[in-house]
Amino acid sequence: MLIDNHNRKINYLRLAVTDRCNLRCNYCMPESGIDFSKKDTLFTLEELSRLSSILVSQGIDKIRITGGEPFVRKDLMVLIRNLSNMKGLKDISITTNATLIGPYITELKALGIKNINVSMDAINRETFKKITRRDEYDIVYDNIIRMINEGFNVRINFIALTGQNTQDILPMLALAKNYNVCVRYLEEMPFNGGSRHFEGNTWDYKRILSHIKEAYPEYEEIPSEATSTSMNYRIPGFKGTFGIIPSFSRTFCGSCNRLRITATGDVITCLYAQPSMNIREILRGESSEENVVKQILQAIGSRAKTGFEAQNRQEGTYTNSMTTIGG
Ligand code: SAM
């Protein structure tokens, strides 16, 4: 079992399979993109499977595949097939922008994948285009509806962006009224790869909730898992639910069970921390299994207690992009 230096069990791996993305969300990276990693610095799919298997043997039982956009990797299904056969792995989830997932939905369902998080920061087509700098609204919307109808547990991640999309907070909730989907509102974080200056957040979780409360005063809180980062709610008469994630306010660090590994092998023990080390060459070297475990134990043995502590350890402002970290 993986236990960190604050006695928290780590059983959830967020595995980025690429840092590339076909969208250019303005709160994530500059229009021109970032300095994307060269191919030989990325794990191969075989390496990602092997790394996952080593970590599952140590007690990881949930893996979320993320990126960049995971489906930019044409061979992604090879990894998902391997994971779906991995003993001890109880939950394989995916975070995607849903632009490229269409051809894989049937197989994902057949493999038993249930949980798909889709980023969609606007229900208005023009706002979506402005934020993502791409004209992909229809395909994203259609794939979301298709996945809901196919029975996936779909959660929509909506980042509340001051001056950009907060007028869509309530209209977006209409999806949860009509469909069995969870719409989750997140606070913006400072990981935008230099896309813009980030000072803080005027739309924090309290403001988002009170905005929703004004329209739906009858909403009720529903129980969440102890390790959940979202506070979850139901509005009477709605088929779906909604959630709010204080990702910048960081009220949930005490129960954090996550480990992040980037597509190039950086091990990140807190979103707000610098990578602890890089595992790629260790995985490629001799006695890799033993050495990977040793390094991972070392990394989680010196985790910051909270995102604020991690931030205090950091010099200067953040320059990295979420497309590298994986969200
Ligand atoms: N391409 C996939 C997607 O769009 O969901 C996965 C990668 S994306 C980097 C993961 C998540 O990070 C998305 O939900 C995205 O909205 C979120 N994200 C990116 N930059 C962010 C920022 N600066 N603040 C908060 N969330 C951010």
pLDDT band at 69 (very low <50, low <70, confident <90, very high): very high
Read off the pLDDT of each residue in 67-88 and give the average, rounded to a whole number: 97
- Residue 276 in this model has a pLDDT that exceeds 90: yes
Nearest atom in ligand 1 to the alpha carbon of residue 190 is: 23
Using DSSP bridges, classify how beta strands 115-119 and 153-160 pair: parallel, antiparallel or unpaired: parallel
Residues 6+ apart with CB under 8 A from 34: 19, 193, 194, 321, 323, 324
Note the pLDDT tens digit of each residue in 16-59. Answer: 999 999 999 999 999 999 999 999 999 999 999 999 999 999 99
CA of 327 to the centre of ligand 1 (A): 5
Tally the C-alpha atoms within 13 A of residue 316's C-alpha that lie toward its C-beta.
Answer: 4
**Cα–Cα distance measured from residue 9 to residue 284, given in angstroms and rounded to the nearest whole number:** 27
pTM: 0.97
Give the C-alpha distances (Å, rounded to integers) separating 87 from 49, 92, 110, 226, 283: 13, 12, 17, 24, 21
Tally the C-alpha atoms within 13 A of residue 252's C-alpha that lie toward its C-beta.
Answer: 19
**Cα–Cα distance measured from residue 274 to residue 289, given in angstroms and rounded to the nearest whole number:** 24
Nearest atom in ligand 1 to the alpha carbon of residue 21 is: 1
- Residue 321 in this model has a pLDDT that exceeds 90: yes
Read off the pLDDT of each residue in 196-202 and give the average, rounded to a whole number: 89
Read off the pLDDT of each residue in 195-214 and give the average, rounded to a whole number: 95
Report pLDDT for 10: 98
Note the pLDDT tens digit of each residue in 156-185. Answer: 999 999 999 999 999 999 999 999 999 999
Q: Ligand 1 atom 5: the closest Cα is on which residue?
A: 96
- Residue 315 in this model has a pLDDT that exceeds 90: no
CA of 291 to the centre of ligand 1 (A): 31
Tokens representing 182? 């969870």
Give the C-alpha distances (Å, rounded to integers) separating 123 from 128, 166, 263: 7, 11, 30
Q: Which residues line ligand 1 (CB under 6 A)?
A: 21, 27-28, 66-67, 69, 95-97, 119, 157, 159, 186, 188-189, 191-192, 247, 322-323, 326-327
Residue in 23, 37, 17, 71 with CA at minimum distance from that of residue 195? 23
Read off the pLDDT of each residue in 247-260 and give the average, rounded to a whole number: 96
Contact 218, 236 (CB under 8 A): yes
Q: Is 291 exposed, middle or buried (0-12, 13-18, 19+ CB in 10 A)?
A: middle
> What is the sign of the dihedral through the CA atoms of 216, 218, 223 and 226?
positive
pLDDT band at 200 (very low <50, low <70, confident <90, very high): confident
Note the pLDDT tens digit of each residue in 294-312. Answer: 999 999 999 999 999 999 9
Residues 6+ apart with CB under 8 A from 234: 219, 220, 222, 241, 242
Note the pLDDT tens digit of each residue in 123-151. Answer: 999 999 999 999 999 999 999 999 999 99
Residue among 95, 97, 143 whose CB has most ligand 1 atoms within 8 A, to mutate: 95
pLDDT band at 209 (very low <50, low <70, confident <90, very high): very high
Beta-carbon count within 10 A of 142 CB = 12
Mean pLDDT of the chain: 97
